[in-house]
Structure 1
Amino acid sequence: MKSKITIISLSLIIVMYLAFKGFIHILSSSNYKLNSIKSASNTKFIVSEFESLSEAGHAPYGKHLTLSKKPIDTPSEGHIIYAGYCLNLEYSWLSNNRIQVNCRTDKPENPVSLSKTAYGIVVEYN
Structure 2
Amino acid sequence: MTLISARSIGAFLLGTSVVVGCFWWLLGDQYSRRSSQASPDGRFSVFEFQSHQNGLEHAPHGSLLSLSADRSLGDPEDGHVIFAGYCKTALAYRWVDNQRIAVDCAVRDDGDVRTLSKRAFGISVSLNGR
TM over 0.5: yes
Q: Secondary structure at the match of 1:61?
A: coil
Structure 1: give runs of 5+ residues left out of the alignment. Answer: 1-15
Q: Following the alignment from structure 2 to structure 1, what is the Cα–Cα distance between the partners of residues 74 and 95?
A: 21
1:42-94, Cα deviation, whole Å (9 max, x unpaired): 11000000000111311111100000011110011000000000132110000
Question: Residues 30 and 122 from structure 1, CA distance in 2 versus in 1: closer, same or farther, beyond 3 angstroms?
Answer: same
Give 1:99's aligned residue.
Answer: 101
For the 8 Å contact 1:28–1:74, the answer to whether it is kept is no
Structure 2: give runs of 5+ residues left out of the alignment. Answer: 1-15
Give 2:61's aligned residue.
Answer: 61
What is the TM-score with the length of structure 1 in the denominator?
0.78
What is the TM-score with the length of structure 2 in the denominator?
0.76
Q: Following the alignment from structure 1 to structure 2, what is the Cα–Cα distance between the partners of residues 28 and 66?
A: 18
Question: Residues 73 and 59 from structure 1, CA distance in 2 versus in 1: closer, same or farther, beyond 3 angstroms?
Answer: same
Aligned pair count reads: 108
Q: Secondary structure at the match of 1:106?
A: coil
Give 1:5's aligned residue.
Answer: none
Give 2:86's aligned residue.
Answer: 85
Root-mean-square deviation (Å)? 1.8
Question: Residues 25 and 66 from structure 1, CA distance in 2 versus in 1: closer, same or farther, beyond 3 angstroms?
Answer: farther
Give 2:121's aligned residue.
Answer: 119
Q: Secondary structure at the match of 1:109?
A: helix
Question: Residues 64 and 27 from structure 1, CA distance in 2 versus in 1: closer, same or farther, beyond 3 angstroms?
Answer: same
Q: Which runs of 4+ in 1 moved over 6 A?
A: none
Give 2:110's aligned residue.
Answer: 108
Give 1:31's aligned residue.
Answer: 30
Larger Rg: 2
Percent of matched pairs sharing the same residue: 37
